[in-house]
Amino acid sequence: MPAAVQLSFIVGWIAMLAGGVAFWAMSRSLPLSEKRHGVAAMSIVFVAFANYFAMAIGQGDIMVHGKTVFFARYTDWVITTPILLASLAMMATPDLGRIRTLVGALIVADIYMIVTGLVGNLSVAPNNYYWWVISMVAFFAVLGMIWGPLRAEANKGHTSGEYSKLAIMLTVLWIGYPIVWLIGSSGFGWITLTVESWLYLVLDVTAKVGFGFIALGAARHIRH
């Protein structure tokens, strides 16, 4: 593994760990009803920490068809993205149980997106592109639910402003992933593994640590 790639993983695990400590401190001042946002934010970064650490010490990749596949990215995303969506849903309503069918559908579509993305990364052309398209369909389903029924739910309460802020942030950042995937080693291979790993790092740190800061900041002021 090139040293610059490994460095991105080291920066990754340090950033996730630092985020976890910061979220723990921030969670202490949350009202009891909103501690759930702290639990979500900490869960996300500690899962990411473990996966970045695994990649940094060479336990997060395998060689398939002569290329390196960082499967630890997917074991990270398959756990953290459902929690991120749950976190967004918690911003929409005080009572997740009431919208459990919607949350369930969101999470199933999301897991489907990540798993088909992994299958694509393990495939050779042209199969990888078929899987990218299949994963994209699930991604659009996720976005459709976020901007359709979940937003409608948020609009019923007092948190529609916070919801919109997080939904916009999530949408913009998440769109980066299929792009990096497509131009990187899993797709066309237009960028080097080093550029790819730093791009994913920026996306991951912003989508997890940045998102967590905003969610916890908003959670402090929530009066459902």
Q: Which of 13, 52, 71, 77 binds ligand RET (CB under 6 A)?
A: 77
Question: How many C-beta atoms surround the C-beta of residue 195 within 10 A?
Answer: 16
**Shortest approach of ligand RET to residue 75 CB, angstroms?**
12
Footprint of ligand RET on residues 146-185 (CB under 6 A)?
174, 177-178, 181
**Shortest approach of ligand RET to residue 119 CB, angstroms?**
9
Number of residues this chain uses to bind ligand RET (CB under 6 A): 18
For residue 162, give the nearest of 173, 150, 174 by alpha carbon.
150
CB under 8 Å to 148, separation ≥6 — which residues? none
The amino acid occupying position 211 is F
Regarding 204 and contact with ligand RET (CB under 6 A), the answer is yes
HSE on the CB side for 87, CA within 13 Å? 32
Structure-token pair, residue 201: 């790092």
Q: What angle do CA 51, 56, 62 make, to 5 degrees?
A: 75
Task: Decide whether 5 or 109 has the Cβ nearer to ligand RET.
Answer: 109
List the x/- string, 101-130, binding to ligand RET by CB under 6 A. ------------xx--x-------------
Task: Decide whether 117 or 218 has the Cβ nearer to ligand RET.
Answer: 117
Give the three-class secondary structure for 211.
Answer: helix
**Which chain residues interact with ligand RET by CB under 6 A?**
77, 80-81, 84, 113-114, 117, 132, 135-136, 139, 174, 177-178, 181, 204, 207-208
